[in-house]
Amino acid sequence: MKIFVKLIHLLIPVLLVWNLVACEMVVPPPPSPPQPCTDRETALDFGFYAYFEPVSYSADDNPAVPDFNTHLGYEADLLSALEAMEYTGLSFARSGIAAWDRIWLLSAQPQFDMVGGGITILDSRTYNASSERVVAFTSGHIAFRQSLLVRVADADRLASHDLLTSDVRVGVLAGTTGEARLLQLTGLADDAGMLRAGTRIDTPQGSVVSDGSADYAVTAAGASPALKGRMHLYPPRDDMPQVVYLGDDLGEEVNIAEALRLGQVDAVARGEIGNRDAVHALGPDFTVTGLDSEVEFGGFTLPVENASLIACINEKIDWLTDNRNIGYAEWRADPGVFRQRADQWNAQWPKEEWHCFSFVDNRYCWQ
């Protein structure tokens, strides 16, 4: 009996090779499709910041119209590619968000399952006001670095952050990495965000002067209560710039470059992507200087307890970005690049019926 089994075991590969010649269809076993990221039948509610063109923005600036919830830009195409990937179970019901303030924490609220919009990944942004970790970031899918948007005529004078003096007005948006990095790079704040002693800050409640303590601190995750609604910051020394706070609850990214064009500020401290896009919109009289050596990454937030969903989405994001080898520059050159990666993902899985059987320790399949 043992000899018979051995003979059969030897004959099966021979028969399969013959079948390959005759039918041209014997191949190694196909890969098994992955399990979906979620088994829910409804889409994930995704909130996106509506005013960060070209990374994440709405088809219409007005929150009162339906097109405000039509998502455009780099992140929109990345999400659409996630939806196009087979066997992921991912789909997104997208809603525009007008206010930037602590937008990353909204995924911990019932309204949203996931939030994006050019949000820099920072551990400090995963905690709520009670110092509880409530959200987690996905893999970084886009690289950011800070910069200065200036007039061409001022490019040499404002070539780097260490050239910014007290007669220079730099526009920022409160609560952004652009603000936080500007304060650190110019020495107005230390690495913990505490403003240098003697710094004067104008607020709607009046002017306050920093004593160098944590009572006067600004980070990309928030600021001390005494600095709420800050409008203008005056440096304690001549070798540091003034900081002018621009924008309001709506359309902040739309208005900030306009402030430079109108002469309300001398420079705008913001990410390189946004500033280079502003140069394209404003024309040849403007340029980008002061490129930061530190690179940051942007991601999406989800509730911290959704660890398995986050891990699954991370795997798919890493596929679409080829482990960060495909990013904003590649998307700018070809907006279809993420969909092409999704098509490559889909091509891995068999589309025709397979017939398989197992014998002893081997599995044999054919179409």
Q: Of 255, 289, 323, which residue is a domain's last?
A: 289
In this predicted structure, what is the pLDDT of residue 251?
A: 47
Report CA 152 to chain centroid distance, whole Å.
29
pLDDT band at 281 (very low <50, low <70, confident <90, very high): confident
Please indicate, yes or no, whether residues 157 and 63 belong to a single structural domain of this protein: no
Q: Of 267, 289, 311, which residue is a domain's last?
A: 289
List, for residues 28-50, the tens digit of each pLDDT value.
Answer: 666 778 899 998 889 999 999 99
Please indicate, yes or no, whether residues 75 and 129 belong to a single structural domain of this protein: yes
Question: What is the span of the domain harbouring residue 98?
Answer: 44-143+296-346
List, for residues 205-228, the tens digit of each pLDDT value.
Answer: 999 999 999 999 999 999 999 999
Q: Residue 16: is its pLDDT beyond 60?
A: no
Answer yes or no: is 262 within a domain. yes
Tell me if 243 sits within 8 A of 232, measured CB to CB.
yes
In this predicted structure, what is the pLDDT of residue 352?
A: 60
Count other C-beta atoms under 10 Å from residue 24's C-beta: 10
List, for residues 107-132, the tens digit of each pLDDT value.
Answer: 999 999 999 999 999 999 999 999 99
Please indicate, yes or no, whether residues 355 and 341 belong to a single structural domain of this protein: no
Q: Of 242, 262, 289, which residue is a domain's last?
A: 289
Cα separation, 41 vs 325, in Å, equals: 33
Answer yes or no: is 39 within a domain. no
Please indicate, yes or no, whether residues 278 and 150 belong to a single structural domain of this protein: yes
Cα separation, 189 vs 191, in Å, equals: 7
Answer yes or no: is 37 within a domain. no
- Count how many domains the chain has: 3
Answer yes or no: is 310 within a domain. yes
Q: What is the identity of the amino acid at 13?
A: P
Please report, rounded to a whole number, the percentage of residues in the chain having pLDDT higher than 90. 79
Answer yes or no: is 38 within a domain. no
pLDDT band at 353 (very low <50, low <70, confident <90, very high): low
Q: What is the identity of the amino acid at 181?
A: R
Please indicate, yes or no, whether residues 191 and 276 belong to a single structural domain of this protein: yes
This prediction's pTM: 0.83
In this predicted structure, what is the pLDDT of residue 24?
A: 46
List, for residues 292-321, the tens digit of each pLDDT value.
Answer: 999 999 999 999 999 999 999 999 999 999
Give CA separation, 48 vs 56, 81, 165, in Å.
7, 16, 36
Please indicate, yes or no, whether residues 321 and 357 belong to a single structural domain of this protein: no
List, for residues 72-118, the tens digit of each pLDDT value.
Answer: 999 999 999 999 999 999 999 999 999 999 999 999 999 999 999 99
Please indicate, yes or no, whether residues 156 and 253 belong to a single structural domain of this protein: yes
Which range, of 11-25, 159-173, 249-263, averages the lowest pLDDT? 11-25
Answer yes or no: is 36 within a domain. no
Please indicate, yes or no, whether residues 95 and 213 belong to a single structural domain of this protein: no
Please indicate, yes or no, whether residues 281 and 213 belong to a single structural domain of this protein: yes
